[in-house]
Structure 1
Amino acid sequence: MEVAPDKSFSKELPDVQATSPDVRINLTRVGVKNVKKLVEVHRHEKRPVIFISNFDVYVDLPGSLKGANLSRNFEVIDEVLQQAIEGDVNQIEKLCSVVARKLLDRHEYADRTEVFMRSEFMVKRETPVSKTVCHEVVKVHARAVARRTFREPIVRKSIGAEVTGMTACPCAQNIMKERAMRVLQGLNVNKDTIDAFFSEVPMATHNQRGRGFLCIETDDDQHVDLEEIISILKESMSSGIYELLKRGDEGQVVLNAHKNPRFVEDCVREMAKKVLAEFDYLSGDSVVTIKQTNEESIHQHDAYAERRATIAELVDELNGDKQAND
């Protein structure tokens, strides 16, 4: 028997997402998570940077709609990534802000869009003595939030990184120094010789592997250099660490760390100070988030410190501290 064709297939399929839900409640975030993409960002007179990235992309949803059109999120991501490959987008936080803006265009019912990007990329480094070339994996975080207004959308973006380093405990080092001083005095070593010894040979202490995190949120028209963020993180701990070390390198890393002992609190404060020195052009409402976690070697817990503040708040605190010391 010949079956007549179903004419309903020739009609346009219904847009179920646009129908009214049974429960009419607004939703803060609707979207997709863990969208894996390879991102190639061009740089002026440098090799492109390759990021292995995960994207989380959200829009808000009014209570009048059953669902969001999630396929549009994938379309926007692919479109902007192609722009990045062609050189139109040369910063990953800018990539996120472009995606956030385009999502407002594609989701006409949304008042707010949000894009998270978590990435890993390789940084080339040289060891301090032998100058051996090695690589380090750095975790990078970027985010953008776009809000619809009666005029142009308001976009805030952020860029941050997480870097691993080494810290040496000042407290235990001071205990060891006092003990060594008593031993040297008992051996009739004169004070000048003792002082000269301690200036060249720092005392033993326990160490931690530190994980520093620094993120800066700005208006869309401002730029924060990712490589400078990474440098601030590395310089704020007692010493950097390396994947490959020759004997001379190993000794130098340990010496550097013990000559520069820092508590977890010291690392956060040092980052804040360096942020103000390096990014003094940023507007006062730029938001700085700093975190430091030290994995203790002689304790079963981790040490942690954090600060979140605007640039203006940090400037006021440091200026107040300078005036108090004058």
Structure 2
Amino acid sequence: MNNQSNIPTSENAIVDVQGIADSRRIAIDKVGIKAIRHPIRVKDRSVGEQHTIGLFDMYVNLPHDFKGTHMSRFVEILNQHDREISVESFGLMLEEMVQRLDAQSGYIEMQFPFFIDKAAPVSGVRSLLDYQVSLIGEIAGGEVQTRIKVVVPVTSLCPCSKTISDRGAHNQRSHVTLTVLINDFIWIEELIDLAEQEASCQIYGLLKRPDEKYVTEYAYDNPKFVEDMVRDVAARLEAEPRISAYIVESENFESIHNHSAYALIERDKR
């Protein structure tokens, strides 16, 4: 005998397993999806806008009495916006996420490569240089906070090596990382400029021989310890009213050691 009574006749008849009660009574701080790619649009100070690819992490909290969250809704939220998400729509997407998932708090991190067209210092030859940028949004109790994180590759030259050496000084490529809580609009390029101006020298995608001579001598004339880098950048961030809190890090990938030098300053100006 064919028993048809156990066969769902509509979508509404399918059991929502995630929504059933959970007896362990352990809340989850963050649950969601990681590393989903989606096209985005980002404001560009020089050309107005650039198109790139965002790598998204999207999480909400889960109360102790629910078994799971609805993972498909995170993807739906991404795809219900314009094909290319903009930075301006980021906060709205965060609010929509917690509403649709009946959550009290939410977190979205959007990582993307950001390109700047740079001119070499002497020859003027132009090339693109990429920077790793993240937009980090959190919402709790209806309050949205947005942070921008920028990883800026630069050159650092050791003051000690310059002082004690008769010929030259060791230098290295370094990463200066800024994570800032903003209270007003700020260009990504402004944060990049700030870090590059406090390094021994900035770097370029393409250099001719006169440019290479220039950047080598410029770094030699502007030596910086890893401690100098974070202090000088922090002083600039302290003076910027659009930034409410910040973390500045510097990692020097040492050329004469098999380890890095590292320093961090964290401040909340509120």
TM-score with structure 2 setting the length: 0.91
Which of the numbers 159, 174, 178 marks the counterpart of 2:163?
Answer: 174
Cα shift at 1:307: 0.6
Percent identity (aligned): 28
Matches for 1:258-277 after TM superposition, within 5 Å: 258-277=220-239
Cα shift at 1:311: 2.7
Cα shift at 1:255: 0.8
Match of 1:10, SS state, is coil
- For residues 193-220 of structure 1, the C-alpha deviation after alignment (integer angstroms, 9 at most, x for no partner) is xxxxxxxxxx62110111110011135x
Cα shift at 1:231: 0.7
* Aligned equivalent of 1:287: 245
Letter in structure 2 aligned against 1:132? V
- Structure 2: give runs of 5+ residues left out of the alignment: none
Which of the numbers 282, 304, 311 marks the counterpart of 2:269?
Answer: 311
Distance 2:44 2:163 in 1: 46
* Contact persistence 1:268–1:307 (CA under 8 A): yes
Matches for 1:121-140 after TM superposition, within 5 Å: 121-140=114-133
Tell me which protein shows more strand as a share of its residues.
2
Cα shift at 1:44: 8.4
Matched, 1:247 2:209: yes
Which of the numbers 207, 210, 214 marks the counterpart of 2:178?
Answer: 214
* Aligned equivalent of 1:187: none
* Contact persistence 1:32–1:70 (CA under 8 A): yes
* Aligned equivalent of 2:110: 117
Identify if the C-alpha distance between structure 1 residues 147 and 210 changes in structure 2 by more than 3 Å, giving closer, same or farther.
Answer: same
- For residues 1-20 of structure 1, the C-alpha deviation after alignment (integer angstroms, 9 at most, x for no partner) is 9x786773313212111101
Larger CA deviation: 252-261 vs 69-78: 69-78
Match of 1:9, SS state, is coil
* Contact persistence 1:289–1:309 (CA under 8 A): yes
Which of the numbers 284, 297, 300 marks the counterpart of 2:258?
Answer: 300
Matched, 1:99 2:93: yes
* Contact persistence 1:52–1:121 (CA under 8 A): no
Tell me which protein shows more helix as a share of its residues.
1
Letter in structure 1 aligned against 2:37? K
* Aligned equivalent of 2:73: 72
User: How many residue pairs were aligned?
Assistant: 268
Letter in structure 1 aligned against 2:92? V
Which of the numbers 135, 147, 151 marks the counterpart of 1:158?
Answer: 147
Distance 1:28 1:131 in 2: 51
TM-score with structure 1 setting the length: 0.76
Identify if the C-alpha distance between structure 1 residues 22 and 304 changes in structure 2 by more than 3 Å, giving closer, same or farther.
Answer: same
Pair member with larger Rg: 1
* Contact persistence 1:138–1:161 (CA under 8 A): yes
Match of 2:8, SS state, is helix
Identify if the C-alpha distance between structure 1 residues 281 and 39 changes in structure 2 by more than 3 Å, giving closer, same or farther.
Answer: closer
* Contact persistence 1:168–1:208 (CA under 8 A): yes
Cα shift at 1:265: 0.7
Identify if the C-alpha distance between structure 1 residues 209 and 44 changes in structure 2 by more than 3 Å, giving closer, same or farther.
Answer: closer
Matched, 1:46 2:47: yes
Identify if the C-alpha distance between structure 1 residues 254 and 44 changes in structure 2 by more than 3 Å, giving closer, same or farther.
Answer: closer
Distance 2:130 2:75 in 1: 27
Identify if the C-alpha distance between structure 1 residues 287 and 81 changes in structure 2 by more than 3 Å, giving closer, same or farther.
Answer: farther
Distance 1:73 1:242 in 2: 38
Cα shift at 1:281: 4.2
Letter in structure 2 aligned against 1:120? P
